[in-house]
Amino acid sequence: MKLSRFTQGKNNNFNLIRIIAALAVLFAHSFALLRQPEPLDKFLGMSLGSIAVDIFFITSGFLVTGSLLVRQNIGDYVRARVLRIFPALWAMLLLTVFGLGALCTSMPLAAYLSHPDTYAYLMKCASLVTGVAYALPGVFDQNPFKSAVNGSLWTMPYEVTMYVILGIFWLVYRLGKRANLTESGWGVVSAILLFLLFLFEQLHLLDTREFGRTFFMFFTGAAYFLLKERVTLSHRFFGLSLFALLLAGLAGQQVFSIVYYLTIAYMLCYLAYLPAGAIRKYNAMGDYSYGVYIYAFPVQQALAATYPRISVSAMLLSSGMATLALAILSWHLIEKRALRLKGSPATEPSTLVE
């Protein structure tokens, strides 16, 4: 069955996949923030959190490309992306800076509230234009993972950058078709687009390795949507991909990495559409993955600061419950309402981070 057969409508498993991925990041950070080795990293050379982030970017590339092609309007596209990312992000930042930070700082409250770094953190993370800040004055400076308030936000500038690049690609394609460009004309356009990619990397001060990885994952997802008429989803192909991935895990980290990059997007598309039945009932609950992603790290750091001897299992359980509660509130009070403003149903899947 062709992938295109399943891409109409929202009866899929993307919400479920994303909440599992968000909880996988929380799981991985339960080890990392206590300076404990994450089990999967030792064997595969990548953590469960890294795999989860890849899943977010592939999913984002697939769904956002579909959204852009359906809307066919760059203004609607930009508005949709802004409304999905920023309202919940800004609410979380205000709670973090003026709530959690004010409670956890080792500085006098007046000094913390008047410190320029407090507002530099707020403004940098709120804009995502030139990366994110990680430290608030005196906050979590005695934790095992020192000073980082919300390390999960590192992916957000990359996510926004991918949105911008996709939008530019679409605009160039539309303008090129209208201008009836020749082959040489498209060659010039391609050279300009490559230069723009280089410019994004330089101006946004994004790490080269992470830029390359997130770009690959996002635009692999985009490619799967564009090629949906040619991609066949089948139990046999999925089984072969899964078997190859498991076999590669036994062959060593380098082999696993190669097979992983070749199969992860296909396996994700299969899991998003073919398994059906009772698991689809999760969609009625809401999309809590973005809230889990943006709240988990500061919640875990607060627990590490409050209970210096907390175990990994206690961290996992307590942070999971607290983060999920915040994510549910974020979805119902902020995210769902913001999504209504973009002229589409409030149940439209999020792209993250996530």
Is residue 148, in this structure, part of any structural domain at all? yes
Tokens matching residue 135 = 């430290």
pLDDT value of residue 92: 98
Judged against a pLDDT cut of 50, whether residue 316 lies above it is answered with yes
- Is residue 173 situated within a structural domain? yes
pLDDT on residue 342: 76
Distance CA 90, CA 96 (A): 10
For the segment 4-13, what is each residue's pLDDT rounded down to a tens digit? 999 887 789 9
Average pLDDT on 20-41 reads 93
> In this model, does residue 207 exceed pLDDT 70?
no
Nearest to 42 by CA among 52, 62, 28, 54: 28
pLDDT at 85: 96
**What's the token pair of residue 295?**
């709240």
Which of 77-81, 171-175, 183-187, 259-263 is the least confident region? 183-187
Residue 297's closest CA among 159, 140, 160? 140
Mean pLDDT of the chain: 90
pLDDT for res 18: 97
pLDDT of residue 35: 94
pLDDT band for 173, please (50, 70, 90 cuts). confident
pLDDT at 202: 62
For 256-267, how does the pLDDT look when each residue is reduced to its tens digit (9 = 90+)?
999 999 999 999
Three-state DSSP class for 148?
Answer: strand
**Is residue 256 domain-resident?**
no
- Give the pLDDT of residue 351: 42
Question: Quick one: the chain helix, strand, coil %, rounded to 5?
Answer: 75, 0, 25
Average pLDDT of the segment spanning 61-71: 93
Closest CA to 26 of 289, 351, 343, 339: 289
d(CA 55, CA 60): 8
| 271 pLDDT more than 70 | yes
In-domain check, residue 124? yes
Q: Once rounded to an integer, what is the mean pLDDT over residues 300-318?
A: 97
Q: What pLDDT, in 10s, does the model give residues 292-306?
A: 999 999 999 999 999
Average pLDDT over residues 14-39: 95
Q: How many domains does the chain have?
A: 1
Task: Answer whether 314's CB lies under 8 Å from 273's CB.
Answer: no
Q: Mind listing the pLDDT tens digit for each residue in 282-292?
A: 998 989 999 99
Q: Which helix (H) or strand (E) holds 223?
A: helix 208-226
Has residue 195 been placed in a domain?
yes
Amino acid sitting at position 327: A
pLDDT at 71 over 80: yes
Q: What is the pLDDT of residue 184?
A: 65
Q: Are 332 and 286 in contact (CB under 8 A)?
A: yes
Residue 63: which residues within 8 A CB-CB, separation 6 or more?
14, 221, 225, 349, 351
**Cα gap 157→212, rounded to integer Å:** 13
Domain annotation covers residue 346: no
Q: What percent of the chain has pLDDT over 90?
A: 72
CA 208 – CA 213 distance, rounded (Å): 9
> Is pLDDT of 131 > 90?
no
More confident residue, 103 or 41: 103
Mean pLDDT over 304-331 rounds to 97
Q: Is residue 12 situated within a structural domain? A: no
Query: Which domain range does residue 152 map to?
Result: 21-229+275-340
3-state secondary structure of 2: strand
In a domain, 90, yes or no: yes
Q: Report whether pLDDT(350) > 70.
A: no
